[in-house]
């Protein structure tokens, strides 16, 4: 099926209109009429080849919300008209222990990304900056009733990527949690941690974000460059979820952790980080990593957001504004997720 899209034709090239081909429906496939597509910083890292060699033309987008328009012969979970979402991966082996445990995001064979990769048959994948997508039903999520599709789209990556480490390291009442970086991921992490009942501090390098952080529910705001405040807050955090997209000096933030405290890294800077190990072993602190979340946990997160009455704070844009929006994301000037109206592709 011919599908309108926006693509980067080579590394670092601006995005431009492009046409792609979507496969015919297999028995377990769902055809989704995309309504909205979120802009993740990972789209930019990959289209600018900041992580590793990418595949071009690239149609980015792994925060997809839309409506089912057709289903394959063996699909029973979904029907035309259903409101659904698709996140960061669209195929996994479903045979390894991780897949069997609902941790498809840690599939031992390696998950097939929604874009910038090939599926197990060798087909190049194209993402959500397009009008339609075909996805195996296992990787399709249900958007809860009452949640608008535009504000739901960012939950499919930013939402689950921050929810998963908050659950894993047990954010909740009595825990002091820091969310580092107030961007797309950070603003969702902040909302989740507040909804989970933790005492939440937003840790930022942008003084201009204090008011927004408080409006979004943060109990406290901490500026990384404020030496006095950083000293006062040393040794007080149980958990810090670090969403920062750029390489930074980690030592000041590590010192914020209590004995046995954890920094869960979800940000994926393009360069290795500098850090002093003394900051870790002096208080048995830990640095951990976390990557999106599995399918069952993603559905749990969507339902949790609906139950607590929140989703993403977005700026809705047309396809023609993507390049400008990307520059704003890189300049930490997104409030707090750009979402593209797919009718403009
Ligand atoms: P984003 O909207 O650009 O937010 C990143 C935030 O990092 C900025 O808003 C800014 O917050 C902070 N920051 C940026 N440059 C900085 C600098 N030089 N020094 C200190 N802080 C800086 O990006 P995003 O979409 O939330 O993604 C964040 C990172 O997570 C990206 O690297 C992305 O690729 C990665 N990611 C990982 C996963 C995963 O599963 N692990 C999933 C999605 C995305 P302040 O202005 O508040 O300081
Ligand atoms: Zn993402």
Q: Which ligand minimizes its atom distance to the CA of 37?
A: 2
The confidence band for 329, taking pLDDT boundaries of 50, 70 and 90, is very high
Give which of 11, 38, 25 is closest to 114, Cα–Cα. 38
Distance CA 318, CA 268 (A): 27
Q: What global pTM score does this model have?
A: 0.98
Whether the per-residue pLDDT at 274 is higher than 90: the answer is: no
Q: 1 CA distance to ligand 1 centroid (A)?
A: 35
Q: Which stretch of DSSP H or E encloses residue 323?
A: helix 322-330
Mean pLDDT of the 304-319 span: 98
Q: 185 CA distance to ligand 1 centroid (A)?
A: 7
Backbone angles phi, psi at 29, to 5 degrees: -85, 155
Interval 37-91: pLDDT, tens: 999 999 999 999 999 999 999 999 999 999 999 999 999 999 999 999 999 999 9
State both tokens at 84: 């659904």
Q: Is the CB of 40 under 6 A from ligand 1?
A: yes
Contact status, residue 329 vs residue 41, Cβ threshold 8 Å: yes
Paired residues of 130 in beta bridges: 5
3-state SS, one letter per residue, for 95-135? CCHHHHCCCHHHCCCCCEECCCCECCCCCECCCCCECEEEE
Taking CA atoms, 319 is separated from 4, 7, 171, 324, 337, in Å, by 11, 11, 37, 10, 15
Q: Which ligand minimizes its atom distance to the CA of 186?
A: 1
Q: For the chain, how far is it from start to end, CA to CA, in angstroms?
A: 15
Which residue is it, tokens 């979507």? 22
Q: Is the CB of 209 under 6 A from ligand 1?
A: yes
Q: Is the CB of 288 under 6 A from ligand 1?
A: no
Interval 116-164: pLDDT, tens: 999 999 999 999 999 999 999 999 999 999 999 999 999 999 999 999 9
Whether the per-residue pLDDT at 97 is higher than 90: the answer is: yes
Whether the per-residue pLDDT at 224 is higher than 90: the answer is: yes
């Amino acid at each position: 099926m011919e599908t309108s899209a926006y693509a980067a034709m080579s590394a670092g090239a601006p995005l431009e209109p492009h046409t792609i081909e979507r496969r015919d429906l297999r028995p377990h496939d769902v055809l989704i009429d995309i309504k909205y597509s979120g802009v993740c910083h990972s789209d930019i890292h990959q289209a600018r080849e900041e992580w590793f060699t990418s595949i071009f033309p690239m149609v980015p987008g792994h925060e997809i919300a839309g409506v089912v328009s057709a289903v394959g012969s063996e699909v029973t979970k979904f029907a035309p008209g259903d409101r659904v979402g698709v996140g960061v991966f669209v195929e996994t082996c479903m045979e390894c222990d991780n897949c069997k445990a609902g941790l498809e995001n840690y599939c031992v064979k390696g998950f097939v990304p929604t874009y910038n990769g090939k599926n197990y048959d060798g087909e190049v994948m194209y993402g959500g900056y397009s009008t339609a997508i075909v996805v195996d039903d296992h990787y399709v999520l249900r958007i809860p009733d009452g949640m608008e599709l535009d504000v739901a789209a960012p939950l499919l990556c930013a939402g689950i990527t921050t929810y998963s480490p908050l659950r894993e390291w047990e954010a909740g009442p009595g825990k002091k949690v820091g969310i580092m970086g107030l961007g797309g991921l950070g603003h969702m992490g902040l909302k989740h941690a507040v909804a989970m009942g933790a005492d939440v501090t937003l840790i930022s390098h942008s003084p201009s974000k204090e008011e927004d952080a408080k409006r979004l529910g943060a109990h406290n705001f901490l500026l990384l460059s404020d030496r006095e405040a950083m000293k006062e807050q040393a040794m007080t955090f149980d958990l810090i979820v670090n969403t920062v997209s750029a390489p930074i000096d980690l030592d000041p933030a590590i010192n914020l952790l209590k004995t046995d405290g954890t920094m869960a890294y979800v940000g994926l800077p393009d360069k290795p980080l500098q850090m002093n190990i003394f900051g870790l072993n002096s208080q048995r602190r830990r640095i951990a990593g976390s990557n999106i979340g599995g399918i069952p946990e993603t559905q749990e997160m969507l339902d949790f957001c609906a139950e607590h009455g929140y989703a993403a704070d977005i700026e809705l844009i047309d396809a023609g504004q993507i390049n400008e929006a990307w520059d704003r994301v890189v300049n930490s000037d997104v409030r707090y997720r750009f979402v593209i109206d797919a009718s403009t592709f």
